[in-house]
Structures are given as structure tokens and as C-alpha cells.
Amino acid sequence: MTTRAATSADRATWGNVALCVVLGMLAAGLLRLHAAEWEWSDPGVWRWLYAAAALLIWCGFTAWLSARRRAMRVDLVQAHVAQAGDTLVVFASQTGTAEQLARQTAETLQQAGKRARLLELSAFGEDTLAHASDVLFVVSTTGEGDAPDSAARFVTHRMRAPMALPHLHYGLLALGDSDYDDFCGFGRELQRWLQRSGATSLFDTVEVDNGDPAALRHWQHHLALYSGAAELPDWQRPDYQRWQLVERRLLNPGSVGGACFHLAFRRLDGDSTWQAGDLVEIGPRHAGSAVQQWLLEQERDGDAVVALGDRRATLRDWLAGSHLPSHADVLGQTPEQIVTDLQPLPHREYSIASLPSDGSLQLLVRQMQRDDGTPGIGSGWLTEHAAVGEAIALRIRANPGFHAPTDDRPLILIGNGTGLAGLRALLKARIERGHVRNWLLFGERQEAHDFYHRDELEPWRRQGMVERVNFAWSRDGSQRVYVQDVLREATEALRQWIGEGAAIYVCGSLAGMAPGVDAVLRDTLGDDAVESLREQGRYRRDVY
């Protein structure tokens, strides 16, 4: 991953290492060679000589390890400074887990075609900070909120006070254990320091409770969006359940934007529950026509039955949920060998737009388009290829960081596009509890076409269930107006609601909308106030 650039000091270190090893080996060899000729009556002398030889060898070995580690750290820093535009993956690990996840992160980015370099936090010096542009941190917490031992120097020398880092864009994966009071304590401390230093988050921090695989998949979801490579394999496949697609309805016919669909599902096996703010993971599948075309081109029998582990299915079924291999990859392989080598399609995440009391799990999904004009695999499967009545691989994922407040505090809900899904569920939960101090700010393209769930929102407003509503229809006027612009025009009301204890929930696009809203909040309330809201749990986001 790096180009070795040894200094004269490095060469001297390596020379000392080699000398120690050679001397130790020579000493041991001479002792063994001349043992028969030398007649030393005291066996203790021999024990001391052998111990000295062993000590020389051990000193050489430990010096080699130390030099190797130091050289690797220096090389990583020098390589980064020399190559602007790389993504640094920086880790602080106590037991090795954070380092392992950092390596997987770097490998994932490299698979996506990005230049990614690994660096330990202790080696993340001032020069590197000054040159770094994109940094992904993977850090653990030890004890009651403490930094790993290896990060102590960085904490002492860098985090005592904010730095000027407006050029730095970061993502943060924080590992912790909720059995401790200060859950993800060091990760949260690092986040606060980065924010106070003026760094900009690439996406919201992901906190992992005791290795939770769902949270790690959410981190992979962010990596896929960041790298632009949506087909990267999951590190760990979700434990899907079987749901049935029971309704699909186009919500915006005639829109200048992408087609947006209302989808409803019911569990086929057993019952499920969720809260407003939770997410689903969907296991997508290829269109049947795409699989059939592959079978014809490879001259394969799609009805051949293949058993692997506890699953038994046709080759056609195995292929439908996997990346379709190339001709060269399957040349000469049996169906069993093909199935063994298949790479499952990665999951897709969507915000749940309903409550269990609605009788179905509902989504709001926009059909994404590839460069060739065909639908994306995940959205294409849900909005076009899966038949109503068909079984869908789906898993509910709790998202407690976006659950509705349990009290009746005022709630400001801000979003755009399909972000209305999460906001709709939150409004439903609030209305069920009789909490009506709700302010919705929503942005889309055209009121005539993109006013999703208008039949619910307008009655809620008339009946006083939603106290205030502001819309931004970006294509309806001569000027483009977005939801952050509407928020800026309502700064007086924003200050009043915040002063009355309101919480802010943002759901929707990470590009444009979320940073735009954040900028308005900081301009209106001040950086310290926004950070205080975040720390109090009064500023929450579900952005993608």
C-alpha cells in the first residue's frame, strides 16, 4: 500500500538489528561447535553463555519489530502527504477490533476504486492533519469512556483544544458497550473535538454496541454511498425474514423527478413490531429476465437443484440474489461450484413510513436509474420487478437515535424527497400520543405531482395535529427554492420553538439538504447551541 522511503536513521536502525541477530547466532554456533573441545567444569558458565546468546537474538528480534512498526507508521504519513486526495482510514484500537474494522474499511474503499490508506491515530500528527481532506475514523472506547492506550498521545497533544480544520471531511465509526455508563465515550469526545475544530461530517456517526452487525452494515451502507459503489458485498449478510409485497402504488405520475412509489408489506412467518424512526434492510434480487438471459448465454439449466448448507434451491433462484458471474468465472464449473462461488447482492436500507397499527410495514421508495437507463438493483426490484404478492427478503433494524420523543415537547421535522417516509412515521407516532406541537418543513420538485401523502398531511393540518407546515417546491417558481431556504425565512419561529424546548429531526438527502439545514441552524442559533442540542438529543438526523 505504501512506497518505502528509508532515511539514514532508518538504515542505521536496520543495521543495528542485523548486527544483534548475527552476533547472537554466531555466539550460539561457536558455543555448540567448540563445546566438546572446551572443558569447563562449571555447568553454570554454559547456562550463562547460552542465556547471553539467546538475549542477543531476542534483542535483535524486538528491535526488528519496533523498527518495522515505526517504519510502517512513517511510510503511511509520508505517503499521504505526498499523495493528496487519498482517503485516510484512521484507527484507535485497544483489543484489535477497531484495527480489523479499519482494515476492512480500507479494503472496501479500495475495491470501489478509491485510494485508501491505513493509519493509527497515534501517528496522526499535525502535518497529516494539515494535509488530510477525507478521513474515516474507527475508534473504540475502553473502560468508562476512555480512549485506547495507543491514542493517549493524540488525546494529550491534539485534543486539548480545537484546531483549525475547515478543510477536513470525516466519517466516524465508534465502538462501545452499552453496559458501561459512558457508551462510546471516546468516539463521542472525538466527534465533539472535530466539530469544534470546524471539520465537516461526510455522514452521521455510526455507533456500534458490542459488535452489533446491523450497525456495521449501516457503516457499509455509508461507505457504499461515499465511494459511489453500491454493489460492494456485505461483511455479514442480514438475517432476513420473509415478507409479502401487498401493495405498490406510483405517487408522482408526471413528475420531472424519478418515479416514487408507496410500498406495503406484511410478515409471512410470525409477527414483527417496530417504532417510528426504525429502518428496514432489503435483500434485492435481479429481474427474472436478467437471470434468464444469463442462463441462455452460459448455456446453463436454471432448474438444476443445488443444496448448500441448509438451503436447497434451483440455480436460477441462487443467481437471482447474487452478483451474476462472468463467463470466464464459470467456465468448466458445475452448478454446485458456481453456487459456492456466488457473491450475494448487498442489502439496501430504507426508512419505515408507517406504524404497526397501520396494519402493514410501508416504505416510500424512489426508483433509481443506472447510467444505461435501467433501474437500480434495489429500487428496481421493489418498484418494478417484484410482483405484488411475491415474497421479499426483509429485516427490521432498530434505529433508536431517530425514535420520537416520549414527552410532548415541540417537534420540528425537516426533510425532502423520500425522507418524508421517516417524518411520516414520526408524525403518526406523535398523533397517536396526542402530541400536536409539530412543525413540518418539506421540500420536493412540483406541488402538483410530488406532494406525497397529501391525503393525510392536509387533514392533519386542518385538524390541528400538525401546528405548522412549510413547503419548498423547487421547480414551481422562476427560482429554485429548497427546504433550507424556507427554514432560513422562518428563523424567528425557529428561535421561538427552540426556546420552548423543541427537538429537530432531519430526514432525507445527505447531499445538499442536510448540510444546508445544518448551516441555517448554525447561522441562526450558533455553533455552541447546535452542539448543545445534539448532545441533549434534541438534534437528530437520518440522512442518506
pLDDT reported for residue 417: 97
Which has more confidence, 347 or 65? 347
Rounded CA-CA distance 446/477 in Å is 9
Average pLDDT over residues 274-301: 97
Of the pLDDT bands very low, low, confident and very high (cuts 50, 70, 90), residue 223 is very high
Q: Please report the sign of the dihedral spanned by the C-alpha atoms of residue 384, residue 389, residue 393, residue 396.
A: positive
CB atoms under 10 Å from CB of 449, counted, come to 18
Of the pLDDT bands very low, low, confident and very high (cuts 50, 70, 90), residue 181 is confident
Q: How many CA atoms lie within 13 A of 396 on its CB side?
A: 22
Only one residue has cell 486526495, namely 85
Only one residue has cell 425514535, namely 403
The domain locations on the chain are 8-75, 83-227, 241-397, 404-543
Q: If DSSP codes are grouped into helix, strand and coil, which group holds residue 49? A: helix
The amino acid sitting at 385 is H
Rounded CA-CA distance 393/242 in Å is 5
Helix 513-525 to helix 527-535 angle (10° resolution) is: 110
Contact of 460 with 427, CB cutoff 8 Å: yes
Cα 95 versus chain centre, distance: 21
Only one residue has cell 438451503, namely 311
CA distances for 544 relative to 217, 401, 422, angstroms: 14, 15, 12
pLDDT reported for residue 55: 56
Rounded CA-CA distance 542/399 in Å is 9
Instruction: Provide the whole-model pTM.
Output: 0.79
Rounded CA-CA distance 221/433 in Å is 33
Query: Matching CATH topology for 83-227 and 404-543?
Result: yes
Rounded CA-CA distance 6/74 in Å is 9
Fold of 83-227: Rossmann fold (3.40.50)
Here the cell at position 299 is: 448455456
Which has more confidence, 61 or 322? 322
Indicate whether 471 pLDDT > 60. yes
Which has the minimum average pLDDT: 18-22, 121-125, 354-358, 400-404?
A: 18-22
pLDDT reported for residue 1: 32
Share of the chain above pLDDT 90, in %: 70
Pick the CATH number of 241-397 from 3.30.70.141, 2.40.30.10, 3.30.390.10, 1.10.260.40: 2.40.30.10
Q: If DSSP codes are grouped into helix, strand and coil, which group holds residue 31? A: helix
Q: pLDDT tens digit string along 30-85?
A: 445 444 444 444 555 445 545 555 555 555 555 444 444 444 443 344 334 435 67
393: nearest Cα among 233, 283, 247: 283
The CATH number assigned to the domain with range 404-543 reads 3.40.50.80
529: nearest Cα among 493, 502, 510: 502
What is the secondary structure of 322-349 as a DSSP string?
A: BPPPPHHHHTT--HHHHHHH--BPPPEE
Which has more confidence, 9 or 44? 44
> What does the mean pLDDT of the chain come to?
87
The set of residues, in sequence order, having a beta carbon less than 8 Å from that of 193 and lying 6+ positions away, is 159, 162
pLDDT reported for residue 24: 52
Indicate whether 322 pLDDT > 60. yes
